[in-house]
Amino acid sequence: MITQIIPKRILLANIPTPIQKISFEGKTFFMKRDDFTGIETSGNKIRKLEYLLYQAKKEKAGYVFTCGGEQSNHARATAFASASLGMKSRLFLWGKNSDNADGNLFLDKVLGCEFRFLSKNEFGNANKIMAEEKLILEKKGEKVFVIPEGGSSPLGIWGYIHAIEEMQAQNIFKKCNAIITASGSGGTTAGLLVGALLFKSDLKIFAVNVLYPKDEIKNKILSLAEQTIKEFRLPVKLDEKRLEILDGYSKEGYKHITNDKLSLIKKFARSTGIILDPAYTGKAFKAYYDNFLSARTPKTLFIHTGGLYGVFSKRKKYLLNYDE
């Protein structure tokens, strides 16, 4: 029985999130509003944190370490969720400190997080750096729980394995036969993939890679899914054909966004009242628009994974006038 395998979680997210029917440019499609999972903790990451922070509390951690870009939604959600459970956070961020911090970094500062800023090269060794700092703190008697980039570990991705069960209960798979989401560290996609194998095996998962090149993210997703299947002895076999990477939507780089995407984000906001972020959902939506919105009623469900605070870090770009 699958219920015997499911790890325990702590309830942090406002779920189930609604699935809305959206009309845009004469087309109608479905959007899962995972940007509604919370406020300080909004977005996809809080689903993973329910499992990870359960474990952190169980291990009686006083500190939570995690890493990401300086505008990391994951780092911000981790810091706020940890604070709500009485734990301090130290964030290892790829980027620079700023007295004028905006968006997620601003919120991290308001919360009083501890920071270590890393160069891009150092960020490649973030796990090692976090492990070294963990040892130092532990010598001082602290208990530290380390969460890898994006909360993407076999335990963390249960957040999105569970989301598939949630969507099935919402009956959306009668109308949709595929899901599309932005893929950063790959955990959300890996969770959806494993969840699909467990609960809805004919479902296809499309991932829009915003951070890593196509082959690298594909390998990350598949190996994380495989590790999870092994670790939890899940009664499924990985099927690579269920996964497709839609490449080429972040050629400008993870920390940037092109004007054509911003123009689409603004058009979409003005006709639906829904805002998309510059690093993840804005890029994923452009992929959705190009690949699926040409159909009158697309059967692919778009997951809005949050990222609202990232908008403020790009306020000048959002306010520029493009060909609108």
Query: What residues make contact with ligand PLP under the rule CB under 6 A?
Result: 43-44, 73-74, 150, 152, 182-189, 277, 280-281, 305-307
Closest distance of CB 150 from ligand PLP, Å: 3
Closest distance of CB 71 from ligand PLP, Å: 9
- Nearest to ligand PLP of 154, 187 (CB atom): 187
Structure tokens of 122? 């150092």
User: Are the CB atoms for 309 and 279 separated by under 8 Å?
Assistant: no
Q: Is 153 a catalytic residue?
A: no
- Nearest to ligand PLP of 198, 279 (CB atom): 279
Q: Which of 72, 152, 153, 183 is catalytic?
A: 72
Is residue 149 classed exposed, middle or buried when 0-12, 13-18 and 19+ CB atoms within 10 A define those classes? buried
CA–CA separation, 219 vs 222, rounded Å? 5
Closest distance of CB 249 from ligand PLP, Å: 13
- Nearest to ligand PLP of 15, 137 (CB atom): 15
Closest distance of CB 5 from ligand PLP, Å: 21
User: Are the CB atoms for 47 and 317 separated by under 8 Å?
Assistant: no
CA–CA separation, 24 vs 10, rounded Å? 37
| Residue that has been written with the tokens 């990391």 in this structure | 72
Q: How far apart are the first and last CA of the chain?
A: 53
- Nearest to ligand PLP of 297, 307 (CB atom): 307
User: Are the CB atoms for 284 and 210 separated by under 8 Å?
Assistant: yes
Catalytic residues: 72
